[in-house]
Chains A and B, each alone.
Chain A
């Protein structure tokens, strides 16, 4: 059912590992050159930058071609004709994606990904035009199924994320109760999680992490409530939107879920699940006061920052104190060249973004959306007091 053979994908993984080990000097260049031909496969790949650009231009071509045909041939036609046309586009896009994979062996190449994504978009658009308002709930349902198929067939994790978003779209068709909607979404994700844990598909790690995150976001009413902006800017959330028992049950759950996710991630040594567990724990700390209706203080971020720094340092110290710096199979040492690469990219990008993010704006003049102008630079030296 998968568009790529398991052996080909394992060869890709093996080649990635060899590159990583070479960069980390676990292998010599000579060893790498002798081992690398053994990982050859017929899949055609490209680097991340070209992949993104190829994805964007494929989207432009497909959308423009469909739009052009519609304008020239189907303009002022009925919604039924439009719907049928979009369904034909969906089928054509999907067939093109399959053709690109089977004939040209494209793998994470941008083009086949964009075609697969377009097929889901056209399918939903076509159904939206064809169906009446009473059967409109079939649109997100079809979106879920199509996205899951794309994920299963091509192994694109963001297709699974799209399926999760379609679940959110589906819930309001079944009930107008906000608490019931949150419950439906959480139950859907939990069912998916059980299925993923049981079946353990090839890319189960990222999918499991997404589902854990989805469940957490669905039950944290401070994050997933419809009037999120009002709550965050105008004051703490009121409990009146939700039944009291439901509200406080979710409060208990947002405290129980992060440790559960973290334990699972640590036991399975799953980096993405650990990351989601950490994010969930942070979000719980950040949203706890609004949940309880308590007032925020200006020093709250300082306390949170101190907690994070202390946690990192204690953890590092605890791991480093063990023989060879390894405790229970975990180490604080860098073992992958990818980590260094991520750190280099992240430090440059985050260092640039930091001043805007953490300092209140002040300007003697109002430069507007221009280059520089002080609001984007100065590492906060233009803060106002």
Chain B
């Protein structure tokens, strides 16, 4: 039975009004055909290509073009982007605000990227902060957070989170030794920090739709950091315990909120962590293969049970 036949039946049963029936029949025949997604992808690819070319040109021709011309051009683009977004922005709200136009989000994104290019150029040419890149990153992250929350823009929110991660990373690159351990600790601090920030803003209903972005990034950074701790020989049992605790939390969260990406994180990261410990001293090829066959089957049974109980698509 085709969807058109079903729609006809539902109309006859009085479930659908005639107007709804004609609308849904047209939609199921792709009439009209929406190119909304395609236009967004074209704009995104266009912005990306433009900024890549801009960065490449500035890098290659900085000597020939001169600082004044480059800074004037970058500032003009930046000013135009921010003028456009500030002049056309809808009133701010704590809730999700739809973009006023197709172009709006992308102009803000372009402005944010051009800001980074200009800032990098200024520091490289004039060394205003004597190479203190971490301060630039922190300031940039702060600006991006403000812009993301003011204009309700997920692209810029991701840039903000990425810049903040860069700040955490660059700050400890000044430390002379034990960078692996320090990076790991800072990665955990970063993930806990953004998870907490996301939870607080979500609880206070401040752009609650951003919470998913915070949580996914926090979960992946945390799992990577814990896994890297499990891979080293010192205190790997403690790191494994921490990993298992994170997996349990991720699994519970994923099942309770029906966000199955977190179930997948728990399964994959947990399996890799436990396997790396158990296989550490295993030299026999047969034992190795037996391990994968048995534990893989155990994981499969557990996941099927979860899928049957909680994860039905239909």
- Interface residues of A, Cβ cutoff 8 Å to B: 7, 10-15, 17, 21, 26-27, 31, 34-35, 38-41, 43-50, 52-54, 56-58, 60-61, 63-65, 67-68, 71-72, 108-109, 111, 269, 271, 274-275, 278, 282, 298-309, 311-313, 315-316, 319, 326, 329-336, 339, 342-344, 346-352, 354-355, 357-360, 362-365, 367, 370-385
Residues of B within 8 A of A335 (CB): 27, 32, 34, 36
Q: What is the distance, in angstroms, from B148's C-beta to the closest C-beta of chain A?
A: 9
* A385/B116 in contact, CB under 8 A: no
Which of B82-90, B193-201, B241-249, B292-300 is the interface stretch?
B292-300
Residues of B within 8 A of A344 (CB): 154, 209, 212
Residues of A within 8 A of B35 (CB): 274, 315, 319, 330-332
Bound Cα distance from A58 to B304, whole angstroms:
11
Q: From residue 81 to 113 of chain B, which have CB atoms closer than 8 A to chain A?
A: 102-103, 105-106, 109, 112-113
Q: What is the distance, in angstroms, from B243's C-beta to the closest C-beta of chain A?
A: 15
* B124/A26 in contact, CB under 8 A: no
The yes or no answer to B219 lying at the interface (CB within 8 A) is no
The yes or no answer to B260 lying at the interface (CB within 8 A) is yes
Bound Cα distance from A54 to B264, whole angstroms:
9
* A358/B154 in contact, CB under 8 A: no
Bound Cα distance from A374 to B162, whole angstroms:
9
The yes or no answer to B277 lying at the interface (CB within 8 A) is no
Additional 8 contacts, C-beta under 8 A, given A370-B183, A377-B137: A50-B263, A271-B33, A305-B45, A329-B32, A331-B33, A362-B120, A371-B224, A378-B137
* A49/B263 in contact, CB under 8 A: yes
Residues of B within 8 A of A330 (CB): 32-35
Bound Cα distance from A248 to B167, whole angstroms:
51
Closest 5 CB pairs of A and B: A372-B169, A377-B166, A351-B158, A305-B50, A301-B53
* B314/A371 in contact, CB under 8 A: no
* B119/A381 in contact, CB under 8 A: yes
Bound Cα distance from A376 to B167, whole angstroms:
10
Partner of A385, one of B24, B38, B62, B225: B62
Residues of B within 8 A of A298 (CB): 53, 56-57, 59-61
* A348/B59 in contact, CB under 8 A: no
Known: A53-B264, A304-B53, A380-B120. A14 touches B3 (CB 8 A): yes
* A376/B166 in contact, CB under 8 A: yes
Q: What is the distance, in angstroms, from B272's C-beta to the closest C-beta of chain A?
A: 11
The yes or no answer to B131 lying at the interface (CB within 8 A) is yes
Q: Assign chain B's interface to a size class.
A: 35 or more
Identity of the chain B residue whose Cβ is nearest the Cβ of A344 in the assembled complex: B154
The yes or no answer to B168 lying at the interface (CB within 8 A) is yes
Identity of the chain B residue whose Cβ is nearest the Cβ of A306 in the assembled complex: B50
Bound Cα distance from A379 to B297, whole angstroms:
42
Q: From residue 182 to 235 of chain B, which have CB atoms closer than 8 A to chain A?
A: 183-184, 186-187, 190, 209, 212-213, 216-217, 221, 224-225, 228
* B137/A374 in contact, CB under 8 A: yes
Bound Cα distance from A372 to B224, whole angstroms:
12
Residues of B within 8 A of A71 (CB): 285-286, 289
Residues of B within 8 A of A342 (CB): 37
* A384/B124 in contact, CB under 8 A: yes
* B48/A357 in contact, CB under 8 A: yes
* B117/A383 in contact, CB under 8 A: yes
Identity of the chain A residue whose Cβ is nearest the Cβ of B3 in the assembled complex: A14
* A278/B38 in contact, CB under 8 A: yes
* B289/A348 in contact, CB under 8 A: no
* B170/A374 in contact, CB under 8 A: yes
Bound Cα distance from A34 to B38, whole angstroms:
34
Residues of A within 8 A of B1 (CB): 7, 10-11
Query: Main SS of the interface on chain A?
Result: helix
Known: A71-B286, A313-B103. A351 touches B48 (CB 8 A): no
The yes or no answer to B280 lying at the interface (CB within 8 A) is no
Identity of the chain B residue whose Cβ is nearest the Cβ of A114 in the assembled complex: B300
Partner of A381, one of B137, B190, B224, B313: B137
Centre residue among A13, A49, A347, A371 by max chain B CB count within 10 A: A371
* A360/B312 in contact, CB under 8 A: no
Partner of B268, one of A45, A53, A348, A363: A53
Partner of A350, one of B44, B112, B291, B296: B44
* B46/A385 in contact, CB under 8 A: no
Residues of B within 8 A of A346 (CB): 44
Partner of B34, one of A65, A282, A301, A332: A332
Bound Cα distance from A21 to B7, whole angstroms:
13
Partner of B169, one of A72, A275, A282, A374: A374
Bound Cα distance from A315 to B158, whole angstroms:
28
* B32/A326 in contact, CB under 8 A: yes
Residues of A within 8 A of B306 (CB): 50
Bound Cα distance from A58 to B263, whole angstroms:
17
Identity of the chain B residue whose Cβ is nearest the Cβ of A380 in the assembled complex: B116
Residues of B within 8 A of A38 (CB): 6, 9-10
Centre residue among A45, A313, A336 by max chain B CB count within 10 A: A313
* A301/B49 in contact, CB under 8 A: yes
Known: A326-B32, A365-B174. A58 touches B48 (CB 8 A): no
Known: A313-B103, A358-B55. A379 touches B112 (CB 8 A): yes
Bound Cα distance from A298 to B61, whole angstroms:
9
Instruction: Pull 16 A–B residue pairs with CB atoms less than 8 Å apart, ordered by A.
Output: A13-B3, A48-B260, A57-B303, A64-B290, A64-B296, A109-B307, A278-B38, A305-B46, A306-B50, A315-B35, A342-B37, A371-B169, A374-B170, A377-B163, A378-B162, A384-B120
Q: From residue 118 to 145 of chain B, which have CB atoms closer than 8 A to chain A?
A: 119-121, 124-125, 131, 133, 136-137, 140, 144
Residues of B within 8 A of A331 (CB): 32-36
Residues of B within 8 A of A108 (CB): 313
Known: A334-B36, A374-B133. A381 touches B43 (CB 8 A): no
* A57/B300 in contact, CB under 8 A: yes
Centre residue among A275, A332, A333 by max chain B CB count within 10 A: A332
The yes or no answer to B240 lying at the interface (CB within 8 A) is no
